[in-house]
Amino acid sequence: MKQRKFKIGAAVTTCYFSCQFSYLKKLVPIEHTVLLTDQHVYKAHASLFKGWNTIVLKAGESYKIQPTVDAVIEQLTKLKADRQTWLIGVGGGVITDLAGYIGAIYMRGIKVGFVPTTLLAMVDAALGGKNGIDHGTYKNLVGTIRQPAFLLYDTKFLKTLPEKEWKNGFAEIIKHAVCFKPNLFRALEKNNLSYYQKNKRAIESLIEKNAWIKLSTVQQDETEQGIRSILNFGHTLGHAIEMVYEVSHGEAISLGMVAAATLSSKLNGFMDATRLQLLLAQYGLPTVASYDLTKLMRVMEMDKKKTGKKVRYILLEKIGKARPQLLPFSTLEKLLKPQS
Ligand code: GLY
């Protein structure tokens, strides 16, 4: 097991990499802890939850809403949870978002830890302190920024992870590489999904590297005034695609990254758009799709990152170097339109 501490603002988050779930007993007192998980994780790993107070939620983004928060608070009061209680989210991004948010508001804040169980949560969604719930069609409209005290990483959870979930995780890993780390980009080019699925040491080291990239970026800019916004590469169009079409987060982000790379070629002379497309395809992610641009533009105009008639778009200069650029929506629409 490897322990790494990250100081973020006034908080310290400790990551326990290459760890075992059973180590949780050493981190929190079992009698003052409530685990929050979903039915999928609970069914797949029922024996792990024996002896722990556990709240089991229905699985899926559609439950990341206020009524779920109310139901969990009700159960916490029934379990007599108080200010000494730890709330531990054991699951993917929906569960860690809910646990982080409920932990921040219950009794004005109780201690929170995460056991991320999907690759996406391990490298991205459970890290960074942003948590919250959706409201209507708006994703993450309500929430707080509050860092968890710890994350416990146990790759046994990845053994039961569907292929689609692996690809979701790799979309964010490729994003980290293309925005910050040319060496990681080259390493990913040399391997493929099945290599990481079969090689425990390789996936553990990849997860640790990516958690470090995310947390060291958040450390520099917790409230997203500058460098943290680079993590939104591919996400402006990606989120719109995700809201309008039935596609996974990774698929949507992959298409968003391809579009952002093409824009980067047109605006900044970025030379490696094809290399990025090939890498995404190598990890089973889509790189071409036909979509209704007018519809997507309307969704992007509602983006939290917009400023008046402009949007802060993340563009690449070269592999490993990205920067935000303020683009008028009209320019964006013109540049994203397929050439005929
Ligand atoms: N919880 C995800 C983030 O803070 O980016």
Q: How far is the CA of 332 from the centre of ligand 1 (A)?
A: 26
Question: Do residues 292 and 213 both lie within one domain?
Answer: yes
Give 92's pLDDT tier (boundaries 50, 70, 90). Answer: very high
Domain boundary among 126, 160, 194: 160
Give 340's pLDDT tier (boundaries 50, 70, 90). Answer: low
Q: Is the dihedral of CA 121, 125, 128, 133 positive or negative?
A: negative
Question: Do residues 194 and 309 both lie within one domain?
Answer: yes
Measured from the Cα of 125, ligand 1's closest atom is 2
Question: Do residues 197 and 153 both lie within one domain?
Answer: no
Ligand 1 pocket mutation pick from 124, 146, 230 by most atoms within 8 angstroms of CB: 124
165 assigned to active site: no
The mean per-residue pLDDT over the stretch 216-235 comes to 97
Average pLDDT score over the chain: 96
Question: Do residues 153 and 13 both lie within one domain?
Answer: yes
Name the percent of the chain lying above pLDDT 90.
Answer: 93
298 assigned to active site: no
Listed residue (128, 328, 111) closest to 214, CA to CA = 128
**45 φ/ψ angles, rounded to the nearest 5 degrees:** -135, 40
**Which residues lie closer than 8 Å to 17 by C-beta, 6 or more apart?**
1, 2, 3, 4, 153, 204, 207, 208, 211
The mean per-residue pLDDT over the stretch 77-87 comes to 98
Measured from the Cα of 130, ligand 1's closest atom is 4
CA–CA dist 163, 285 (Å, integer)? 11
Residue ranges making up the domain that contains 44: 2-160
pLDDT at 191 over 80: yes
Q: Are 310 and 328 in contact (CB under 8 A)?
A: yes
Measured from the Cα of 100, ligand 1's closest atom is 1
Q: How far is the CA of 126 from the centre of ligand 1 (A)?
A: 6
Give 63's pLDDT tier (boundaries 50, 70, 90). Answer: very high
Question: Do residues 195 and 123 both lie within one domain?
Answer: no
Question: Do residues 145 and 188 both lie within one domain?
Answer: no
Encoded tokens for 245: 């079409």
Question: Do residues 31 and 119 both lie within one domain?
Answer: yes
Question: Do residues 277 and 316 both lie within one domain?
Answer: yes
337 assigned to active site: no
Question: Do residues 145 and 262 both lie within one domain?
Answer: no
Catalytic residue among 131, 239, 242, 251: 239
Listed residue (236, 218, 238) closest to 228, CA to CA = 218
Ligand 1 neighbours (beta carbon < 6 A): 125, 128-131
Give 173's pLDDT tier (boundaries 50, 70, 90). Answer: very high
181: how many CB neighbours lie within 10 A of its CB?
17
Q: How far is the CA of 130 from the centre of ligand 1 (A)?
A: 4
The count of structural domains within the chain is 2
Question: Do residues 190 and 57 both lie within one domain?
Answer: no
Q: CATH number, domain at 38?
A: 3.40.50.1970
The mean per-residue pLDDT over the stretch 266-276 comes to 97
Q: CATH number, domain at 232?
A: 1.20.1090.10
Q: Please tell me the predicted confidence (pLDDT) of residue 138.
A: 80
198 assigned to active site: no
